[in-house]
Structure 1
Amino acid sequence: MKNLISIIIPAYNIENYIAKCLDSLLNQTYRNLEIIVVDDGSSDNTGKVIDDYLSKYDNIKVIHKKNAGVSAARNSGIEVASGDYIGFVDGDDTVDEEMFEVLIENAIKYDADISHCGYKMVFPSRIDYYHNTGVLVGQNNEIGLKDLLAGNRVEPGLWNKIYKKELFNNIKIDESIKINEDLLVNYYLFKKAKKSIFYDKCFYNYTLRKGSAATSKVNINKIIDPINVRKEILEDLEKNSDLYDIAYEKYIMSLVGICRNVQIRKNKEYKTYIDDAKKSLKYEINNIIKNKAVSKKTKLMVIGNLYFSRIFYIIDDIHAARTGNRTKYEVK
């Protein structure tokens, strides 16, 4: 008998997107899917659209709950999932018809606890591929964690992967974290996994739209959460290991990122967070300079932010304008 995959879909006020998402799952070439849609207290017609699908398809389950955020919605789905594997799809995204067939075939063939693939960023006027090379890479526990922390091959999101269900035993998504919660739970899942398999074909379609988390303006969670996530991962790792060095540099860069963020610099309400970030960088400055694993680029950015901030910001803003890095995910 074929392995059952439970697909968990958090849905909040996406009445114009959820049907397309469900249709892409119902059209999968791999048919043994349990589709769990969690209506996270939507105030529009999302719940009605979901209930209409529920009445037509036997493999769809629906949970209606009070609004508590995407992590709480996903946790609710995990609790009722009966599949051998668990996957996640955001309710405003779609997947190519062969995605879950390829993921499950790779998981079984290579005896992997996690099977993942590439993805597309779908803008109104273009599609960006990440990265569609066609490479197939097996990752043991250490390599999987290293690729996740370094940002190589392993996208920190939950939505382009399937996981053996038992990985979630004693692991929940932290509902207090609103930004980078995917990275945090993936850290613990990849830490637990003996093996993962990555196929770099872009089967997942991540939709960029106005009002989504990826395109929303800066807020307290976007400032604080990435630092807290990087810090928790750092504290969980053993010092003097390659993984610790990678996590340390990422933590330092999250502090630098606050100083570089134009929205934070221009908003008086958030400027205190720049001061706090600089205090943390000053506290770490000796470790940063002495640590051979921290790149020269990172060291220069830290020094520029701490001691030559006015000049650094001018240069940084000019560079960002030329490269378009700060408007990369902008949806007009």
Structure 2
Amino acid sequence: MTNNTPLISIVMPVYNAARFLYPCLNSVLAQTYKNWELLVVDDGSTDDSKKIIQEFVAKEHRIQLITKANEGVSIARNVALETANGQFVYFIDADDIVSPNALEIMVCAAVTYGATIVKADYQAIDEYDKPLFVNKKHLLRHKFAGKILNANDFDRKILMEEYFLWTCLFRMDVIRKYHIRFLPHCRLMEDADFIMNYLIYSERNIYIDALIYGYRKHIGAATSGRKDYNNDLKLIINHLYLMQELSYIKRLLCKIAISYYQEYSQMDKTYDLPPIKHGTILYQYAQKKLVFAHQIIDIYKFITRISILLRYRITMLLSIGR
């Protein structure tokens, strides 16, 4: 390992992902950047996932299989972090694919800018690897590419409420020094919690304008379907609550609290939101349980979607006119 070719630890939790494991693992093998290790954590799969992984382990010495009982994605990633040898860590999901030059692009940016976090972008794909909808926020982020941003600006201008691990490259020395880990048993927005904790200690945050990842949308994906995630949201609120003075964490806490309110109000259950000092207007509506708060939140979210669409269209028109 040299300073220009650091070892990258790729972390991939697997649970009953046999259907898409071949394209995912092959996309890792196809990387133009060669100095990596792949830590695959089989989290108690009951399908052919383990068998498929063992096929790849047998022919590629850089792949390591870790088997464990099923405890959820957060603990699976934490197990891998304890094993990782890399200078950087990159997380992927077992049903997605990684662009061939993904690691090369992110490592180059990390080394060139001395970045503590590098974020790139993604393309949503279907079950057959075909592109789906346009990622509008990708175009909106473009003007900030190559700029070193503080945590607050990085959250507002780059993340834009998209807390996707697989578009980011993290430094392991930061993770080790501050013992940053995923919330055990948290199944929703555990990535947001991890990124927010990381940003507290990350001073050189950069965005690279490149599509490096294929995010697969399909029936059966972990983020599809409706489940009760209220306990998961509580875990994150409790974990980040004492750091609410940081503006980017306050924004996330308000967002989570509002989601918590909406879930419980729809189920006609009682709820008590945690007091967040100087929280957003929408949070204050929810926290005070004002009449029509639910409708106001829905209207605000609709206006936000329209605003992003308009900004995207304007940016497109300006780029065509140049």
Is residue 273 of structure 2 the alignment partner of residue 280 of structure 1?
A: yes
Corresponding position of 1:200: 209
For residues 180-225 of structure 1, give each alpha carbon's deviation from its aligned partner in whole angstroms, at most 9, with x where no partner exists.
1111111111111121211132211111121222102122xx2232
**What fraction of aligned residue pairs are identical, expressed as a percent?**
24
Q: Secondary structure at the match of 1:211?
A: coil
**Aligned residue type for 1:15:** A
Moved more, 121-130 or 11-20: 121-130
CA 1:175–1:228: 2 relative to 1, 3 Å: closer
TM-score normalised by length of structure 2: 0.79
Does the aligned pair in 2 maintain the 1:145–1:187 contact within 8 Å?
A: no
Is residue 34 of structure 2 the alignment partner of residue 18 of structure 1?
A: no
Does the aligned pair in 2 maintain the 1:11–1:90 contact within 8 Å?
A: yes
Corresponding position of 1:225: 232
**Aligned residue type for 2:280:** V
CA 1:150–1:255: 2 relative to 1, 3 Å: farther
**Aligned residue type for 1:216:** G
Distance in 2, matches of 1:33 and 1:299, equals: 43
Q: Aligned ranges for residues 17-166 of structure 1 at < 5 Å? A: 17-124=20-127, 126-129=132-135, 131-133=137-139, 134-135=142-143, 136-140=145-149, 143-148=150-155, 152-153=159-160, 155-166=162-173
Q: Secondary structure at the match of 1:131?
A: helix
CA 1:65–1:242: 2 relative to 1, 3 Å: closer
CA 1:243–1:36: 2 relative to 1, 3 Å: closer
CA 1:18–1:256: 2 relative to 1, 3 Å: same
Is residue 263 of structure 2 the alignment partner of residue 236 of structure 1?
A: no
Q: Secondary structure at the match of 1:307?
A: coil
Q: Work out the number of aligned pairs and report it.
A: 292
Distance in 1, matches of 2:231 and 2:7, equals: 38
Does the aligned pair in 1 maintain the 2:244–2:253 contact within 8 Å?
A: no
**Aligned residue type for 2:162:** E
Distance in 1, matches of 2:77 and 2:298, equals: 38
Q: Secondary structure at the match of 2:138?
A: coil
Distance in 1, matches of 2:66 and 2:292, equals: 53
Distance in 1, matches of 2:189 and 2:56, equals: 31
CA 1:299–1:132: 2 relative to 1, 3 Å: closer
Corresponding position of 1:254: 259
Distance in 1, matches of 2:122 and 2:184, equals: 25
Q: Secondary structure at the match of 2:19?
A: coil
Q: Which runs of 5+ in 2 are unaligned?
A: 307-322
